[in-house]
Structures are given as structure tokens and as C-alpha cells.
Chains A and B, each alone.
Chain A
């Protein structure tokens, strides 16, 4: 049996986090009522002209630099023609022969830690199309409805080289890609809302041959899981076909997640005569080298580099470093707490268990606006470290910090939660607890060591948790052994 090698290239479309659309001033808010976020320009009315959003260019440059791409000395927009009712002008303003950037790479790590470098062929900007709603399904609908809110949103298309060798690699590439974009603050990475969309080109060839097999384009891969599932299906479909002696047809196939298969979209050849020509309504861009340098200087540390540094600089386990670098805001939160004086490991634990209980790791805004600031988390950990409060109290205090935004110190003082470390006061309570629990005492005497724990628990309860647990334990043990 022939052993095949899989060859995959991914095209990722990312909606950029600009405030206004690519070529007009309409807002980019998601989820507005249909056809309320349009203007003559993005509706393609007669007489309108596009004007490039500088921020979109900046975001594309930022991304291109993060991928080590060459920023082209001059780039240009071009019109790509095809008819579709969700595209108001029946052409899309995109980039063709002169894209913004080319020749970069993204370094990824597979689940087993194997490093891989995936080449990036090109990165360019274009405008999004509107949305179609079918009355029924596409096949059975008698009519379709168009909402142009999304038309004209800025899209950045990044095309990888065919360097990806398996569906798992494709999924890893997409995850790493998404993390970089979110880190850069250029895209929210939300695949469900369509902020990040992925198409794949996949072919297989007998292992050891240099020539590429016939490639098939797979569309509609809108989650990490679907990327992997669809590609696994498609690789198998192609391998089965070749094994049966059939030929692979160059075509576009649609991934149907519900049915778990890809199916041909049966577009005819002439449908792809896009008739590109330079967009005469826009000027070419020859980006100022100083501007590019400024953008380069403002690039944040990227997830992979930061993960490594967290391990080496803070001696965190790889798992913690991974968790804490899921988003840029979370990593920055962690580092700010450490800078404020907290121990790295304790900060990591509290961030992962307590903060992420309240806020999703990729909700960058919520993390930045967290009611428990990094400095306040450090303050809480300090109180615990100093023995002012117990770990258990600290968790309650954290909950109150979330509700009020106050410092741990203020909450502890206001609610009198300071740990009781006065042996005299605790001893009186120990005496009282022991007097009221003869059964537990008897159990202890009969060799049940756990009974002491129950008594300590009673002491803690009587002090509303404020007794220093170590001291309470020590005093209970003393008292029992003396009896």
C-alpha cells in the first residue's frame, strides 16, 4: 500500500479590530440590527469612493512584522470581480500582485513539543462582504435576504506556504496564529462570530515524491476542531480515491460539520475569471520606513517567547506558563502582580484558580478592567504570607475584592478578619471546644487521630476562621495529649 504525505496550506481571514470599516466610517460593532451599519460607500451606491483606513494598514503591518514578513516597498489595492449579492459593488477591493507583505513564518509547537516552522507566503488587506440569510436552506430557498452590515469590514488575509503536514499541525498553526493576532491586539480571534475564518488547500502525494498532488480547497472551517476534522476527512477521502485508482479533481469543497464530510461546490472554471486590475479610486501605498520602525518598536512580546521567559525567569512549570500566556492581558496581569511583590508561583496559582474562575482567559478587556487589580492581588498574597489571614479567609477576601474592587487590606480591616494569633485567646476557645465535645476527645484517646482535626475545625468555626490554623492545631494537640 502506498504511504501518502499530506500537504496543507491555510488561508486565514481575520477581521481587524478597527473602530470603523476598511474604506468608510461605519462602525464595526458586531451584532447590530440588519442594515443599520451601512452608508452609501459600503452599500456600493452610485458615485461613492473608498478611502483607506490607516489603522487597518497599521494592524496589517504589525502582524506582518510579528511574522517576520517583508513589508513591500509599495503595495496597491486591486479590484476582484465576481457577482454575488452580498458584495455590493460586485467587485471586492483586495490586493493582488502587490500585497502588503510577503515571505514570513510562524513557529509553532506540536502537542508533543516538536517545533515546526510554517512559512507565510503573503499577507494582504481586503474588504469583507455582507451576509446572506436564506429563506430555508441554500438549496431549497426561493429567496435570500441580504444584510450589508458586514460589508466593508476590514479583513486581513494571510496565506501560509504548503508547509503543513498533518491536520494536527493545521490546528496547531491556527491556534498559534490566533494567539499572535490576539496578542497584537489586531483581532479578537472569535471564530464563532466569524472574526477569524479559515480555508485550507490540501493535497496528498506518495511519500518521497517532490511533485505536489492535485489540490482541493476546503471552505467553512470555522473552529479549531473543524479544521482538524475536515482535514482528516479530506485526507482520507483523497487517499481512498487514489488507492482505488481514481484521480483527484481540482475543486472547491465545503465542509459540512453536521454531516462530518466535505462536498463539492461544483463551480465552473469561468466563474474564477476575477479580472483584477489596480483600484483606480485609491492611491498606491509606499509606507514610510519610520512608521514601520515605530510599529516594530511597539510590538509586544509574542506568546511563544513569553511562555519561555515565564519558565526561565519565574521558574514556573510549563503548564502554568502555558495557561498564563493564553492571552496578552492575562500574561500582563500576572507580571504586574509579580512586579508588585508577590511570589511568582503563588501569583500563578491564584491567577489560574481564582481570577480565571471570574473572567475568561481570552476576555482581554475584562482582565484589564478586573476589579481585582494585579497590585491588589499582590496585596492579598502579602497578607497571607505575613500570616495576617489564612488561605481560607484569603479566598473569601478575594471574592469580596471582586465584588467591591477594594484592597484586601481594607476588607480585612473593615470586616475584622485579621487572624487571631494570640495563644491566650485561642487557648480559651480550645478549652471550651474540648469541654463541649467529649465524644471527639474519647475518639482521639481511642487512637482516632482524625478526631483532633474535627476539634481544630470547631475552633476555626468558633473564631469564624480567624484563628491562626497552625496555632489552633498546636494548642488542640497540646491539650489532648495532656488529658
Chain B
């Protein structure tokens, strides 16, 4: 039996496109029908853009027929987290407050993917305004983990991760503010890369916490991740915080191996609260990388324990500001019956935002309010400096850091009711966001109940090439990718 089209990676597919064995339309159709058949169970998508996908795929067919494909993503299906604005396609950010909003513009990364020939399949589910670690905070639907439908896919990019894992999508875009690409990547056993802050444009990404939001790819394997990153990375005149650094051909640099690389193992990332199965799998992965020629070194990141506290000030503060615009005046929901403007706005926001979003707006507003700024936001920004210095000190000694992505594997729906317990999911990922460092999660094993485990590799700013090449070396040396989730 030939391999199903939806089991192939981007680089495998485009190889076949070039040979003429298969064409982009066939692949788009295969995905659309699989979504039709199975997404009722998984719930990865908020909207499927059939027409736009078919039109894009047909255009790609033509280019291959003419022998002039646009590049390594031409004809590759992609799924877009609903945090990215898509021209003419409703964009909700998982929130009722944006119900009916149709952006008149495309996010820069969406435009770049489409310019590279990628075929958008649809918009994926997410925690409302990217606030959450389980995608349970979506206002629209529940997303299930393809490895175990009773469990969460992680979040906030849960729809993207579930789509890629369940072969309802091939590559996806997500955003990572406290771990929202890497954590669902780990829970769903896919590759999730959070690039350096400024490496990828945020223009058109509906803001959660501006200084922490990082768009990035979720893919089946590391090579696909390298291909997608190259297409979306680079300075954008519409994003003043994007950085004008050259974008290397990451895929071409994957084969260099890890020999001679110094890998740091931060002891604070193997502390109390880490699931022993995860610790075993991650330590085994670290040993494997040593076998491949890297050297290991113990390092310390003393402020690790404070990262979450910093995060839960900075992110809500910025969110309270970014979400002030949703007031029922310009777009989205307007609650009926407001007797005057303030009443209308207060009711609209009460009806349009979910509990978690309200909690963070309240927390952030409080942290910025008169008399509390220095005690909360001001202090948090200073501790953020200390967190960053920890990483700088570590990177003076080693090239990369290795750690678990999450303290536990995917949990069951409804298991984490307490907000703080949910927040603790981000304990190993927030540091990378606060310091803006590139970090990837790759599959490094399975728990005894068959759930994927993620290995996290963190690099120096703009050193995505080394992060990817190390992840690739590990992926090539192991056969974890052979296992696929069974969807009925």
C-alpha cells in the first residue's frame, strides 16, 4: 500500500510534486477530506478555507506543470492559528468578542507563506487570546489530543498542534508567549519552534503580550520546521521590533551534526514537580546527543523559579492594554441593551471575554494602576533583566541548553481547574520567552500511557540554525517519529 499523502512531510511532498508523481491539488483534497472526516473528533479547526485552499493548490499545480515552482513550500498545506489576521477570512482569536470580525489585511507571515506558494487549509482553534495551556479556554470548541482524545492538546496553539499531529494539517503557524508553541508541540508530539524575539514579524498577529509574543512553526519534522522558518523569518517594515538579521538557509545547515557543540543542562529544569517519566526520557535524549559527539555541562539558571511570577505580571499588564480596544465600537461583538456608551462597553466586554481573559485583564490593570506600577510591573521588568542575565551567563559557557519542555504529559480535559495549577505548565518555557531566545520542542519518547514527551533545546539569540541542527541530529538518530496517532 502506498503511503497516504497526508503522512508525507513537506520536503517529501515537494519532491514528488517536482517529479510529477502527485500534484498540490491532490494533497489539498486529501487533507480537506480528512478534515471533513475526522476533525469532528479532534476539533482542530475553527474555520476551513476550502475555496481559498483549492484555488491556491490549483495555482501551484500550474507552476509545477510549467516547471517553475516558487520554492520549497510551493503547494504545501498550512494551517493558521486563529490569532493571525487573514484577509477576508473571519479571525476570532478564539474569542466571542471578535465574532464576525473579517480582517481587511493579512498578517505578514501569512502573506509570506502564501507568497511562497503555501496552501492555507484553515484557521485553527486556540485558547482565547492565546491565554491558556490547554485550548480549553477557546470560546468556540474543545480540541482533543490526537494521541488520546480524552486529553488536551496543550495550548494556546492547541488547534495547530493537534492538526499537525492528527494529519489534519501538515505544517502550522502558532504563537508562543509563555510556551504556547512548544508546550502543545510536546503534548502532541510535533516539532514546535519559538524563534528569537524579532526574528519573525508580529504584524497581523493579534497581540496578547507584545514584548513576549513570538510567532513560529509547528511541523512534523525538523526539516519542515527549517523550511517554514526560512519562509516567515526576516525584518518587516511593519514591525518596528523585528530585527534586520540575515536569514540563513536553515535546511541547508541541518547536516552539520553536533560534534564539538557544548550542551548545557540547567539543574533548575530538573527540579521537583517534573514527571519522572519525562525526566528519564529527556536525560536519555541528552545522553544520545553526547553519543553523537556533543559535550555536556551542568549549568545553573538561578532565577528560574521567578520566571513564572515575572511572566504573570508582564503578560497580563500588556494584555490589559492590548485588549482595551475590544469595546464594541469598531468591530466584533456589541452587547445589546447598553443604556449609554460606558454601559455598552462594559457589557460587551463582560459578554465577549471568557473567565481567563477577564482574570488577566483584571490582574494586568491592577499591576499598572496608580500606586502599584513600581511594585509589580516595574519590579517584574527588573527581574526580567536578571532572568536574561542568567541565560547570558550560561551561554558564555555553552552553545545550547537542553531541558524538558513541560513538567507533565498531556492532561485530561477539565483536570486543571485552578488557574495557578494551569500556569505551572509553563514553568520550563517562560524563561525562553522572557529572554526572547530561540527554543524548539521535539519528540523524545513516550510516557507509559503512550503520550509524547518533548525535549526542549534553547539557543542564543538568532542562533536558530544551531538549535535546528541539534534537533535534526537527534531526530535522525532516533525513530520516535515512526509512531503515529490512530484516529478512527
Contacts and interface: CB of A to CB of B under 8 A. Distances in A.
- A and B directly contacting (CB within 8 A): yes
B367 to A, nearest CB: 9
A282 to B, nearest CB: 5
A399 interface: no
Contacts of B98: 46
A277 B317 contact: yes
A280 B211 contact: yes
A473 interface: no
The residue among A48, A52, A79 with the most chain B CB atoms within 10 A of its own CB is: A48
Interface of B is mostly: loop
Interface of A is mostly: loop
Interface of B: 84-85, 91, 93, 98, 101, 103-105, 107, 202-207, 209-211, 237-241, 317-318, 320-321, 324-325, 327, 329-331, 341-342, 345, 365, 368-370, 373, 377
Contacts of A79: 321
Given A51-B240, A91-B321, A83 B204 contact: no
Interface string A16-53: 00000000000000000000000010011111111110
A402 interface: no
B207 A91 contact: no
A296 interface: no
B329 A47 contact: no
A40 B206 CA distance: 12
The residue among A50, A85, A88 with the most chain B CB atoms within 10 A of its own CB is: A85
Nearest to A43: B330
A48 B324 contact: no
Interface residues of A, number: 29
Interface string A86-107: 0011110000000000000000
Contacts of A47: 84-85, 103, 107, 203-207
A413 interface: no
A280 B330 contact: no
A288 to B, nearest CB: 17
Contact of B325 (A90, A276, A280): A90
Interface in A51-68: 51-52
Contacts of B237: 51
B363 to A, nearest CB: 13
Contacts of A50: 240
B324 A280 contact: no
A160 B261 CA distance: 60
A281 interface: yes
Nearest to A273: B370
Give 9 closest A-B pairs by Cβ, nearest first. A90-B324, A280-B210, A275-B368, A280-B211, A46-B206, A47-B204, A47-B85, A47-B206, A89-B325
Contacts of A273: 369-370
A45 B331 contact: yes
A81 B203 CA distance: 22
Nearest to A272: B370
Contacts of B325: 44, 46, 88-90
B317 A44 contact: no
A282 B341 contact: no
Contacts of B204: 47-48
The residue among A85, A89, A276, A280 with the most chain B CB atoms within 10 A of its own CB is: A280
B240 A49 contact: yes
7 contacts: A46-B331, A47-B204, A49-B239, A49-B240, A83-B327, A273-B370, A281-B241
Contact of B240 (A46, A146, A276, A283): A283
A146 B330 CA distance: 9
Interface in A249-290: 273, 275-277, 280-283
B320 to A, nearest CB: 8
Nearest to A50: B240
Nearest to B203: A49
B362 to A, nearest CB: 13
Nearest to B204: A47
Contacts of B365: 275
Given A51-B240, A79-B321, A90-B325, 20 more contacts: A45-B103, A46-B85, A46-B91, A46-B98, A46-B103, A49-B202, A49-B241, A51-B238, A81-B324, A81-B368, A83-B345, A85-B329, A91-B321, A275-B321, A275-B370, A276-B368, A277-B318, A277-B377, A280-B241, A283-B241
A49 B330 CA distance: 17
Contacts of A281: 207, 210, 239-241
